[in-house]
Amino acid sequence: MIILDYKDTRPIYEQVVEKFKLLILKGVIQKDEQMPSVRSLAVELSINPNTIQKAYAELERQGYIYTVKGRGNFISDSKNLLDERKEELKNRMVLLYKEGKELGMTKADFIGRLQEMEE
Amino acid sequence: MIILDYKDTRPIYEQVVEKFKLLILKGVIQKDEQMPSVRSLAVELSINPNTIQKAYAELERQGYIYTVKGRGNFISDSKNLLDERKEELKNRMVLLYKEGKELGMTKADFIGRLQEMEE
Amino acid sequence: MIILDYKDTRPIYEQVVEKFKLLILKGVIQKDEQMPSVRSLAVELSINPNTIQKAYAELERQGYIYTVKGRGNFISDSKNLLDERKEELKNRMVLLYKEGKELGMTKADFIGRLQEMEE
Amino acid sequence: MIILDYKDTRPIYEQVVEKFKLLILKGVIQKDEQMPSVRSLAVELSINPNTIQKAYAELERQGYIYTVKGRGNFISDSKNLLDERKEELKNRMVLLYKEGKELGMTKADFIGRLQEMEE
DNA sequence: GTGGTCTAGACCACA
DNA sequence: GTGGTCTAGACCACA
C-alpha cells in the first residue's frame, strides 16, 4: 500500500504519516474504509509495530483516521478532499475580507499584504 | 473582568492598563461601552481607587478610553484600535495562505478569489 | 466557488444545492448578495445550465435564495437561516462551557458574567 | 516533584501529563523554567524513559512546554495561569453573546441553553 | 549531557 | 482478532 524511502532522512513514522495523508486527500482511501492493522502493516513494511502505532496516533490527532478499540483504524470523514480543503481556505478568506470590509478595508489591503510576502 | 498577577513585578496600575488594552483590542469591550466605575473596580480587585484612577488616566492618554465627567469612562474608537484590528485580519489571512501553501496553493489562488468578488 | 465530487453517487444538482446551502449557512455568501449566474456557473463547473437551473429552483423552494426576473438570483434572509446561526452560536457556547468545566468552572461562572453585562 | 497513583486505572503517561499541567497552571513551575530531564524523571519515578517521552510529547502538543534539542524541555509561556484561562473563556463567551445580539438574541437565550444542560 | 527514534517483545482491554 | 501501554535497551543528532 505504501513504500518507504530509506534514503529519506526523516523518521520512518513521519514518512508513514505523510504517505497516508496523501492517499486520503487524493481519495484513494475513503471515508470509513479500514486502515491496515498495526501489526499487518508492521510486517508488510518490516518495521516495528510501535512505529506504526506512533504514525497512526499522529494521523488520528490530525483528524485523518479514527480508532475503534478492538476493531481497527478507519478513515475519518472530517477531512475533505484536497480540492475541497482548498475551497474551504478560500471561503475562510472571503469571511475575513467581509469582516475587514466593515472596518473600511478594501480588497487591495488584503491583496497588497499577500503580494509583499515571498512566494 | 480582569485578573491581577501578584507575582508580576510591574506596578499594578500598569497591569490594569495592559489588561484593559487587550480586552479593548480583542473587542470584548467595544466602542462607547462603559468601563467599570473606578470605585466598583477597586472593590472587585481589592486595590486602592487611586491605582485604578491612575490606570484609567493612562488609558485615556493612550487614546483607549474617554471620560465624561459625572458619567464615567467609555471606550473610544480611535484610529489606533482600528489599525490594530485591520492588521490582525491581514495576519489571519497570511496564516490561511500559509496553510494553503502546504496544500500546493499559490498566492494567485487567493488573490483570484478576492478579485472575482464585487468590491 | 464550489467543487463537485464525481465519486458521489447523488445527482449533481443535489450536490450543487447542498454546497450552496453550506456556503449560505456559514455566511460566506450573505443576505442579498448575488448568486453566480446560471450560465457562468454552468461554464465554471462544466455542466449543463439546466442542471444549475434545477439546483437554483430547489434552493428557492427551500427558501435560501430568491429570483428577480431579468436580474438574477439573490440570497434570502429567511427565518430558517437565522435560527440555524443562532443554534450554532449556542453550540459554540456549550463548547466553551465544556472547556471551562475541565478547569473547574461551573455554569454559574458563565451565567454570572452574562448577567453582569448590560442587556 | 510529582507522585504517581498506582491505584489509578489511567495509563501512567496520562497521569504524568495531568500532574504537570496542574503544576504549570498553578504557577508552581513557571515560564522558561526547565522540566526534569526525561531520563532523570524516569529514574525518580521508576518508570521507563519512553513513558516520560510520551508524556512530554503530549505536553508539548498541548502547548505547555517546548523542547530544545540537546538542552531539555522548558515551560512555555503560551499557557495562561488557571484564573487567566477562566477569564479568557468568559471573554470568549461575551464575544459570542455580542455576535448573537446582532442576530436578535438575548442573554436569556444563552443562559437557557446552559441551564438545560446537566451540570 | 540532552531529547528523538526505533526495535523486540510482554501484557492488557475490547469484541 | 484489534489497538494501547509499557519495559529494556540501542543508537542517533545536537550542544
Residue pair A93/B114 in contact (Cβ under 8 Å)? The answer is yes
Alpha-carbon distance A4 to nearest alpha carbon in chain C (angstroms): 29
What is the grid cell recorded at D74? 522548558
Chain D residue nearest residue B4, CA to CA? D84
Measured between CB atoms, which of B3, B7, B27 is closest to D87? B3
Measured CA to CA, the distance from residue B2 to residue B20 in angstroms comes to 8
Query: CA A117: distance to chain centroid?
Result: 25
SS3 content of chain C, % helix, strand, coil (to 5): 55, 10, 35
CB contact under 8 A, D91 and B26: yes
Q: What is the pLDDT of residue B43?
A: 94
Contact, C5 vs A81, CB < 8 A?
Answer: yes
C111 vs D contacts (CB less than 8 Å): 111, 114-115
| Subset of residues 39-58 in chain A with CB less than 7 angstroms from any atom in strand F | 39-40, 49-50, 53, 56-57
A65-68 and A72-75: which strand pairing? Answer: antiparallel
Report CA-CA distances (Å) from D70 to C105, D36, D37. Answer: 39, 14, 11
Average pLDDT over residues D32-37: 92
Q: Is the pLDDT of residue D118 over 80?
A: no
**CB C23 to CB A91 under 8 A?**
yes
d(CA A101, CA A113): 15
3-state SS class at D99:
helix
Contacts of D99 in chain C (CB under 8 A): 89
What per-residue confidence (pLDDT) applies to C79? 64
Q: Which of C103, C104, C114 sits opposite D110 (nearest CB)?
A: C114
Q: Which residues of chain A are at the B interface, by a Cβ-Cβ cutoff of 8 Å?
A: 82, 85-86, 89-90, 92-94, 96-97, 99-100, 103-107, 109-111, 113-115, 117, 119
Give the residue whose CA sits closest to F12 at C1': A11
Classify residue C116 by its DSSP letter.
T
| Cβ–Cβ gap B27/D84 under 8 Å | no
| Per-residue pLDDT at B79 | 65
* Nearest residue to A18 via CA among A38, A36, A40, A2: A2
- Residue B57: pLDDT over 90: yes
pLDDT of residue C15: 93
Round to the nearest angstrom and report the end-to-end CA distance of chain B. Answer: 39
| Residue D15, pLDDT score | 93
Check CB contact under 8 Å for C3 and A30: no
pLDDT tens digit sequence for D44-62: 999 999 999 999 999 998 8
Three-state SS string across chain A, please?
CCCCCCCCCCCHHHHHHHHHHHHHHCCCCCCCCECCCHHHHHHHHCCCHHHHHHHHHHHHHCCCEEEECCCEEEECCCCCCHHHHHHHHHHHHHHHHHHHHCCCCCHHHHHHHHHCCCC
Q: What is the pLDDT of residues A33-91, one digit of tens each?
A: 899 999 999 999 999 999 999 999 999 988 899 999 899 999 988 677 788 889 989 99
CA distance A91 to A97: 10
C24 to chain A nearest CA, in Å?
Answer: 11
% chain D with pLDDT above 90: 59
* Interatomic separation, CA of residue B27 and C1' of nucleotide E13, rounded (Å): 49
List chain D domain ranges. 12-77, 80-118
Under 8 Å between Cβ of D55 and D13: yes
DSSP structure class, residue D79: S
What lies within 8 Å, CB to CB, of C15 at 6+ separation is C4, C5, C8
Any atom of strand F under 7 A from CB of D76?
Answer: no
**B107 by DSSP, 3-state: which?**
helix
Q: What is the mean pLDDT of residues A19-40?
A: 89
Say which CATH class A12-77 falls into: mainly alpha
Q: Say what the pTM is.
A: 0.72
Nucleotides of F under 7 A from a protein CB: 1-10, 13-15
Cα–Cα nearest to B76, from B16, B30, B37, B26 = B30
- Give the mean pLDDT of chain D: 90
User: What cell was used for C112?
Assistant: 454570572
Burial classification of residue B99, based on how many CB atoms lie within 10 Å of its CB (0-12 exposed, 13-18 middle, 19 or more buried): middle
pLDDT digits (tens, 9 = 90+) for A99-117: 888 888 999 999 999 998 8
Query: From B84, which residue of chain A is nearest by alpha-carbon distance?
Result: A103
Listed range (A19-28, C43-52, D76-85) with the worst mean pLDDT: D76-85
**Per residue in D35-44, pLDDT tens?**
999 999 999 9
Residue B102 pLDDT more than 90? no
Mark the ranges of chain C whose per-residue pLDDT is less than 50.
none
DSSP B41: H
- pLDDT given at position B1: 84
Most B CBs within 10 A among D94, D96, D97, D101, hence the mutation to make, goes to D94
Collect all residues of chain D within an 8 Å Cβ-Cβ radius of residue B2. Answer: 87
Q: What share of chain A in percent tops pLDDT 70?
A: 97
Asked if the Cβ–Cβ distance from B117 to A107 is below 8 Å, we say yes
D76 has a pLDDT exceeding 80: yes
Protein residue minimizing CA–C1' distance to F2:
A70
Nearest CA in chain B to D91: B28
